[in-house]
Amino acid sequence: MNSGSKSRRMKPDDRRQHLMEAAISCFSQYGYQGTTTARLARAAHVSEPVLYRHFKSKQELFASLVEEVGKEVIRAWRQAIAPLKSPMDRLRVLFRLNPAITDPRTKQLYQVIFMAQTEIAEPKVQAALRDHYQQYAKFLSNLIKRAQRAGQVRSDVSADGLAWQLVHAAIGFAFIKPLAIPGHATPATVEQTIGLLIEMLAGDRQSDG
């Protein structure tokens, strides 16, 4: 078949990317526990030996996928806030860029991530998830520190603590949203929540704009 010949001609980096893309739909359909290397290979239209040439195990593939998505999200965040000079304006933009709900590709993966967190205790996967969330918190913390230096964010609370509160809020929102609870995620309530987050960050200061 043409698809098979194209697969055989793939460069190693392209093949690796192809395997990870196929894995997203496979993990999303069967969950982490229900996804086997045989299923992953079938989803990517390759043999299991080909899969093992690029990833030693299902755990390694999943960890690589989590790592790659984290890098993509940070790149997208940097691009989105680059034109803005105000740290608070940058934070406002990021409040609307929750990767677990705004991007169809990463939204699908986060459904798997949330399931994986409750299904498994494999050290390699848990380490990948910890690193994943920690890089988000670090990015937000650095931005909050700039806002604190600019007098836009309260300085009586640590930037790291505030960053983790934002991460918690984003995860909680993304976890509940698929339930389609009436009134939970309407445009009005989302804007209200963003306003409350801004107030939390600003403390007794007036929000800038």
User: What is the reported pLDDT for 5?
Assistant: 45
What's this model's pTM, rounded to 2 decimal places? 0.84
Domain assignment present for residue 125? The answer is yes
Residue 196 phi/psi, 5° resolution? -65, -35
Residue 209 in domain: no
DSSP string, 59-107: HHHHHHHHHHHHHHHHHHHHHHHTT---HHHHHHHHHT--TTTSSHHHH
CA distance 147 to 145: 5
**Domain harbouring 97, CATH code:** 1.10.357.10
Q: How far is CA 100 from CA 38, 106, 173, in A?
A: 27, 6, 9
CA distance 208 to 80: 19
Q: Are residues 46 and 80 in the same domain?
A: no
> Under 8 Å CB-to-CB from 120, ≥6 apart: which residues?
32, 33, 126
Same domain, 40 and 70: no
| Spans of the chain below 70 pLDDT | 1-9, 204-209
Question: Cα separation of 191 and 95, whole Å?
Answer: 10
Q: What is the mean pLDDT of the chain?
A: 86
Tell me what pLDDT residue 1 has: 35
Residue after which a domain boundary falls, among 55, 72, 96: 55
Nearest 5°: CA angle at 67, between 162 and 9?
Answer: 155
* Domain termination site, one of 14, 37, 55: 55
Structural domain that includes position 192: 64-202
* CA–CA distances in Å: residue 127 to residues 94, 121, 130, 137, 204: 25, 10, 5, 15, 38
Joined together, the tokens standing for residue 11 give 């460069």
Report yes or no: 15 and 64 within 8 Å, Cβ to Cβ: no
pLDDT tens digits, one per residue of 50-80: 999 999 998 999 999 888 889 989 999 999 9
Q: What are the tokens at 25?
A: 């739909």
* Residue 143 burial (C-beta neighbours within 10 Å; 0-12, 13-18, 19+): buried
Q: Are residues 51 and 111 in the same domain?
A: no
Looking at the structure, tell me whether residues 5 and 90 fall in a common domain: no
CA 176, 177, 182, 186 torsion-angle sign: positive
Q: Are residues 27 and 121 in the same domain?
A: no
Judge contact between 109 and 146, C-beta under 8 A: no
Q: Domain with 33 in it: what CATH number?
A: 1.10.10.60
Residue 123 and residue 146 in one domain: yes
- 208 is a domain residue: no
Q: What is the reported pLDDT for 8?
A: 57
pLDDT at site 113: 83
User: Is residue 1 a part of any domain in this protein?
Assistant: yes
Are 70 and 167 members of one domain?
Answer: yes
